[in-house]
């Protein structure tokens, strides 16, 4: 596949730099390549191949961000003998057994150096996370169990824990990257002073909408080429029961979209209610499609709902993209990273 070819082309450059960077002594060689959703599973495929395949299927679940669903993570499996092909990925998962004798299991124990792994509840698999083990700007997840059968059973019941951990860790890294060129400080001050909440705005983003009513208001910031936006809508004097009423929340989303964003929702495409990680916690989220009131264009959106009981304020945090002919998930993910800097 294309991603593997790209990685292989970069292996040669990484190898040439290895001695200068001291990788023979265990130091990372070159910067990890690919996107923040590229994952390499590295294991002894002869003994733990079924576990690797199970994990690959779970991480590759289609996400309905567009007419054609896109995988949550782009996952490849490598045997330990092909480890150099895996070690340049943005994310690496090393699968081994706690007392295994295969090379991947020995690598796991060696890299952790006796550190305790996090047991996932009562499930029979353990996880530890480290940064920059093989390459710079990389996350490595060490996953282990007592035997293959128990690991498969544990993963089947608790894969959501690992997925949420990966999503949170990767959003933190992406957020750090977004702010490498600084902040829009004047806009951040304006939002705090006039709207009563904090939002960090990367230098690559700009204000696109700023409106305030009697009991509500909305701020939208955006980056272009392609368009991805994060908007924070708030409603004061909201009853606490609103957060559990999907019909009311849908009408609220429709209302502030029409009023502030100059858009309509595509009812024919349907809506999906669920829970997802936002700022490290599970929150209610609505997914669907929007369309502009002027012009023939639109795209996917996701709206997270948060309720602040001490102020009786409801927040609807909306992220969307307009990226015709392109994958939508990377831009939804980026806009979510910006939105997650919200401080009520």
* CB distance 334 to 228 below 8 Å: yes
One digit per residue, the tens of pLDDT, for the chain of length 344 reads 454 444 444 443 444 344 333 344 467 868 899 999 999 999 999 999 999 999 999 999 998 777 778 999 999 999 999 999 999 999 999 999 999 999 999 999 999 988 889 988 777 889 999 999 999 999 999 999 999 999 999 999 889 989 999 999 999 999 999 999 999 999 999 999 999 999 999 999 999 999 999 999 999 999 999 999 999 999 999 999 999 999 999 999 999 999 999 999 999 999 999 999 999 899 999 999 999 999 889 999 999 999 999 999 999 999 999 999 999 999 999 999 999 999 99
> Could you tell me if residue 156 is inside a domain?
yes
Look up the CATH number of the domain holding residue 24: 3.30.379
Token output for 208:
């696109």
Token output for 212:
């305030």
Q: What is the pLDDT of residue 69?
A: 86
Look up the CATH number of the domain holding residue 231: 3.40.1000
- If one counts every other C-beta atom within 10 angstroms of the C-beta of residue 15, the result is 13
> Could you tell me if residue 70 is inside a domain?
yes
Among the listed residues 228, 230, 265, 268, the one whose alpha carbon sits nearest the alpha carbon of residue 249: 265
- If one counts every other C-beta atom within 10 angstroms of the C-beta of residue 158, the result is 17
| Helices 329-339 and 148-178, packing angle to 10 deg | 70
User: Are 191 and 289 part of one and the same domain?
Assistant: yes
User: Are 227 and 142 part of one and the same domain?
Assistant: no
- How many residues are given for the chain? 344
Q: 218: Cβ–Cβ under 8 A, 6 or more apart, which residues?
A: 209, 210, 211, 212, 231, 232, 233, 234, 256, 260, 261
Among the listed residues 76, 82, 108, 85, the one whose alpha carbon sits nearest the alpha carbon of residue 95: 108
Give the end of a domain, one of 122, 155, 178: 178
- If one counts every other C-beta atom within 10 angstroms of the C-beta of residue 312, the result is 14
Give the end of a domain, one of 138, 156, 178: 178
User: Are 67 and 205 part of one and the same domain?
Assistant: no
The runs of H, that is alpha helices, within the chain are: 2-21, 45-59, 83-86, 103-112, 148-178, 185-195, 246-260, 329-339
User: Are 79 and 146 part of one and the same domain?
Assistant: yes
- DSSP state at residue 202: B
User: Are 39 and 80 part of one and the same domain?
Assistant: yes
Among the listed residues 124, 151, 170, the one whose alpha carbon sits nearest the alpha carbon of residue 47: 151
- If one counts every other C-beta atom within 10 angstroms of the C-beta of residue 280, the result is 10
User: Are 242 and 332 part of one and the same domain?
Assistant: yes
Helix (DSSP H) and strand (DSSP E) numbers for the chain: 8, 16
User: Are 140 and 231 part of one and the same domain?
Assistant: no
CA distance 176 to 242: 34
Among the listed residues 325, 320, 290, 336, the one whose alpha carbon sits nearest the alpha carbon of residue 68: 325
- Find the domain containing 221 and state its range: 185-339
User: Are 89 and 166 part of one and the same domain?
Assistant: yes
Q: What is the pLDDT of residue 19?
A: 35
User: Are 159 and 18 part of one and the same domain?
Assistant: yes
SS3 content of the chain, % helix, strand, coil (to 5): 40, 35, 30
Look at the block and give the residue holding tokens 């609103």. 242
> Could you tell me if residue 190 is inside a domain?
yes
Give the end of a domain, one of 135, 162, 178: 178
* CB distance 300 to 205 below 8 Å: no
CA distance 228 to 320: 6
User: Are 205 and 132 part of one and the same domain?
Assistant: no
> Could you tell me if residue 344 is inside a domain?
no
CA distance 319 to 70: 17
- If one counts every other C-beta atom within 10 angstroms of the C-beta of residue 71, the result is 14
User: Are 11 and 126 part of one and the same domain?
Assistant: yes
- DSSP state at residue 66: S
> Could you tell me if residue 255 is inside a domain?
yes
Please tell me the total count of domains within the chain: 2
C-alpha dihedral sign at 175, 134, 2, 65: negative
User: Are 226 and 114 part of one and the same domain?
Assistant: no
């Amino acid at each position: 596949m294309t991603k593997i070819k790209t990685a292989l082309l970069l292996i040669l450059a990484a190898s040439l730099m290895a001695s200068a960077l001291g990788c023979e002594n265990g130091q990372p060689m070159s910067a990890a390549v690919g996107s923040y959703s590229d994952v390499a599973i590295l294991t002894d495929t002869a003994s733990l191949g079924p576990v690797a395949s199970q994990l690959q299927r779970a991480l590759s679940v289609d996400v309905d961000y567009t007419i054609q669903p896109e995988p949550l993570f782009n996952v490849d499996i490598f045997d330990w003998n092909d480890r150099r092909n895996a070690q340049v990925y943005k994310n690496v998962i090393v699968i081994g057994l706690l007392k295994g004798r295969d090379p991947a299991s020995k690598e796991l124990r060696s890299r952790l150096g006796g550190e305790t792994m996090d047991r996932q509840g009562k499930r029979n698999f353990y996880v530890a996370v480290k940064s920059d083990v093989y390459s710079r700007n990389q996350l490595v997840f060490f996953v282990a169990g007592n035997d293959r059968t128990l690991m498969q059973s544990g993963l089947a019941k608790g894969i959501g824990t690992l997925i949420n951990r990966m999503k949170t860790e990767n959003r933190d890294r992406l957020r750090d990257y977004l702010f490498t060129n600084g902040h829009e400080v004047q806009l951040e001050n304006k939002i705090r002073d006039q709207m009563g909440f904090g939002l960090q705005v990367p230098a690559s983003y700009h204000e696109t909408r700023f409106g305030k009513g009697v009991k509500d208001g909305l701020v939208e910031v955006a980056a272009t080429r392609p368009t991805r936006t994060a908007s924070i809508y708030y409603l004061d004097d909201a009853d606490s029961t609103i957060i559990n009423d999907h019909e009311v929340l849908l009408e609220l989303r429709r209302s502030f979209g029409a009023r502030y964003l100059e858009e309509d929702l595509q009812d024919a495409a349907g809506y999906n209610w669920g829970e997802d990680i936002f700022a490290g916690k599970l929150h209610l989220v609505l997914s669907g499609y929007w369309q502009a009131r002027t012009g023939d264009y639109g795209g996917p959106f996701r709206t997270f709902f948060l309720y602040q009981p001490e102020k009786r304020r409801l927040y609807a945090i909306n992220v969307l993209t307009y990226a015709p002919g392109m994958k939508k998930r990377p831009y939804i993910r980026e806009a979510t990273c910006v939105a997650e800097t919200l401080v009520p």
